[in-house]
Amino acid sequence: MCGIVGYIGREDAAPILLKGLKKLEYRGYDSAGIAILGAGGLTVRKSRGGIKNLEEKIEAELANGTLAASIGIGHTRWATHGEPSDINAHPHTDLSGNIAVVHNGIIENYARLKAWLQKHGVVFRSETDTEAVAHLIDLHYNGDLLQAVMESLIRLEGSYALAVVSRDDPDRIIAVRKESPLVIGKGDGENFIASDVPALLEYTRDVYYLLDREIAVLYRDKVEFYDGDGRRIEKNIAHVDWDAGAAEKDGYEHFMIKEINEQPKALTSALRARIQADAGQDAQGGVPVKAVNLEEIGFDSSWAQANRVVITACGTAWHAAVIGKYAFERYSRISADVDIASEYRYRNPICNPQDIFIIISQSGETADTLAAMRMAKESGSRVIAITNVVGSTLAREADLVMYTWAGPEIAVASTKAFTTQLMCLYLIALQFGVLRGVLSGDELAKSIKALEEVSGQAEKILKDKETIQRFAARHFTKSKVFFMGRLFDYAVSLESALKLKEISYTHSEAFAAGELKHGPIALVDESTLVVAICTQTVLFEKMDSNIKEVKARGASTLVITYDDVNYFDQSADEIFRIPRLPDGLSPMLSIIPCQLYAYYCAVQRGLDPDKPRNLAKSVTVE
């Protein structure tokens, strides 16, 4: 977790570092720090709490010029080793204060390294694994910082994105990554590093993505690259075409509500160019037939030879995967399994080269998800990545990449990434169905039409957000909230319960409605709100019984169903209606009121939905 930044150029480094850190605060916000190399040598300032605390701490020094420097590194932390504190905050230095290091990742052999360093007389000041790196570099330092970093890397196990500066080598920053993200921004007379692109957008769109173990040496006027064996390499520049506003709040109070509202646009982007308007004519002749076209991602008929699809992910992306499983079964009649990546990697799974893996990750950097992908590849299976981040590790290592094109997702709670992941999964499932000859022309046409309408329908739901806001105002104090549904609606319930618990700290659970009587109903009483998601017509009767069962135990009930359905008018206390879609596609819409409910509950509770406690956006460590 954690975010790192670095700057070398001709401007004042500290304000640039602070700005960059603010853009990365979603990655961690329990402490922050900077190290700058100025006339006074190496100066480190750090503070427990968010960037704001750090800013306040150094306000006077910034104003009086004490911190003037044109090179520096910075860090915003999500604690792994050692509690959040000033001492444990990064940057960490060696004993003489010559070398400063910021780190995102986990040094797994840190205990062994620490013991070894202690034998060499090193006295540790913090409880972090990162401090060992600073001492290690110092021990290897012989007048050449790059050489010292290279030699130290040989001893490091685990994951890292590191930036290193030294008082004795004041005109360059050394940066390296392994299994943690790092982007190099190329400017004019200035260069940058950051854990993620939004921190760079104000300054440059030209970036280099580092591969595992590659090293970048940043000077003011150039960047040099080395591979893991220390050989000079050339790297291609990539151009990022996000507009800077995409990573700003744009007048919204929080990133989360901005991103919820961006879903219509994001859904259009995920779909655009993947539907072919003139794929032939219908049987009667004359009417053009549309088709899914995934040539852009390299998806051809060879993929449809698969025996099985395995979908793997974590958190919200795993909830999308559950929906993906149902979609593959429904539209492609192929056996589909779904796995939580952190479970998958420690099982002894049975897979074979005929399986296709779909690995889903907004960030493309989640450690468990990447480990599952690598296992799949080792077993000889082919991998399709669904990710939002261009150039992410997942995108680079998968056989095919389908981008969600949702634009930067900054809020910790994932929203537009989820709905666009669904859009991608539906497109692949439909195309699988076509290539396997199991999807009728009618159903394909109906589904494509629905996919094309989803964006407008999402817009309609968002226009009615005050209804959910009022509902949240009445229910935000509820101590227990249960979401229930069946199949597709159960998967949406899982995602809804996660959204609510992670940002409003309300105890919330999701149940497959048929399981209610097998235990969960014992928890239902007058203090419970039950949200029933009912978008599958054949299951209305079953859901209606479940709603009556929880009502009879005193629960308040909200039903989410289609705008043309009156089935639940008698049983539900309140109904939120969404536009109709073919049943299996409804999750792209039914999740939206639940996202809004979670958001408004958090706001009602006086919490900051963008910064839920204990959480960070990218889980790049185990």
Q: Give the interface segment with ligand F6R, choosing from 35-43, 255-263, 355-363, 424-432 (CB under 6 A).
A: 355-363
Query: What is the nearest approach in angstroms of ligand F6R to the Cβ of residue 317?
Result: 4
Query: What is the nearest approach in angstroms of ligand F6R to the Cβ of residue 43?
Result: 35
294 vs 406 by CB, closer to ligand F6R: 406
Is 315 an interacting residue with respect to ligand F6R (CB under 6 A)?
Answer: yes
Hey, which residues between 155 and 214 contact ligand F6R (CB under 6 A)? none
Could you say which of 70, 104, 361, 561 contacts ligand F6R (CB under 6 A)?
A: 361
Burial 182-192 (b: 16+ CB within 10 A, else e): bbbbbbeebbb
Rounded Cα–Cα distance for residues 215 and 468 (Å): 49
CB within 8 Å of 66: residues ≥ 6 apart: 40, 43
CB 536 within 8 A of CB 569: no
Strand 232-233 relative to strand 223-226, pairing = antiparallel
CB within 8 Å of 176: residues ≥ 6 apart: 149, 153, 160, 161, 162, 182, 210, 213, 214, 215, 216
Rounded Cα–Cα distance for residues 149 and 133 (Å): 9
Determine whether 424 is an active site residue: no
Is 404 an interacting residue with respect to ligand F6R (CB under 6 A)?
Answer: no
Q: Give the interface segment with ligand F6R, choosing from 96-104, 308-316, 322-330, 603-611 (CB under 6 A).
A: 308-316
DSSP state of 540: H
Is 104 an interacting residue with respect to ligand F6R (CB under 6 A)?
Answer: no
315 vs 593 by CB, closer to ligand F6R: 315
CB within 8 Å of 35: residues ≥ 6 apart: 42, 43, 44, 45, 72, 73, 74, 91, 93, 100, 102, 165
Mask for 500-539, x = binds ligand F6R (CB under 6 A): --x-------------------------------------
Hey, which residues between 486 and 505 contact ligand F6R (CB under 6 A)? 498, 502
Q: Give the interface segment with ligand F6R, choosing from 112-120, 149-157, 289-297, 359-367 (CB under 6 A).
A: 359-367
314 vs 534 by CB, closer to ligand F6R: 314
Rounded Cα–Cα distance for residues 259 and 381 (Å): 34
C-beta nearest to ligand F6R: residue = 315
Is 366 an interacting residue with respect to ligand F6R (CB under 6 A)?
Answer: yes
Mask for 107-146, x = binds ligand F6R (CB under 6 A): ----------------------------------------
CB 420 within 8 A of CB 269: yes
Is 620 an interacting residue with respect to ligand F6R (CB under 6 A)?
Answer: no
The residues that bridge with 238 in the sheet, in sequence order, are: 207
Query: CB-hemisphere CA count at 13 Å for 249?
Result: 11
Alpha helix positions (H), 254-392: 255-261, 263-271, 315-327, 341-344, 367-378
Query: CB-hemisphere CA count at 13 Å for 76?
Result: 29
297 vs 500 by CB, closer to ligand F6R: 500
Query: CB-hemisphere CA count at 13 Å for 369?
Result: 34
Rounded to the nearest 10 degrees, the angle between the axes of helix 416-435 and helix 263-271 is: 30
Is 362 an interacting residue with respect to ligand F6R (CB under 6 A)?
Answer: yes
533 vs 619 by CB, closer to ligand F6R: 619
Is 619 an interacting residue with respect to ligand F6R (CB under 6 A)?
Answer: yes
Determine whether 2 is an active site residue: yes
Is 587 an interacting residue with respect to ligand F6R (CB under 6 A)?
Answer: no
Query: What is the nearest approach in angstroms of ligand F6R to the Cβ of residue 611?
Result: 13
Is 420 an interacting residue with respect to ligand F6R (CB under 6 A)?
Answer: no
CA dihedral 594, 600, 605, 607 (to 10 degrees): 100
Structure tokens at 214: 């590659």
Query: What is the nearest approach in angstroms of ligand F6R to the Cβ of residue 417?
Result: 6
Is 316 an interacting residue with respect to ligand F6R (CB under 6 A)?
Answer: yes
**Which sequence positions are flagged as catalytic?**
2, 617
Q: Which residues bind ligand F6R (CB under 6 A)?
A: 314-317, 361-363, 366, 369, 413-414, 498, 502, 618-619
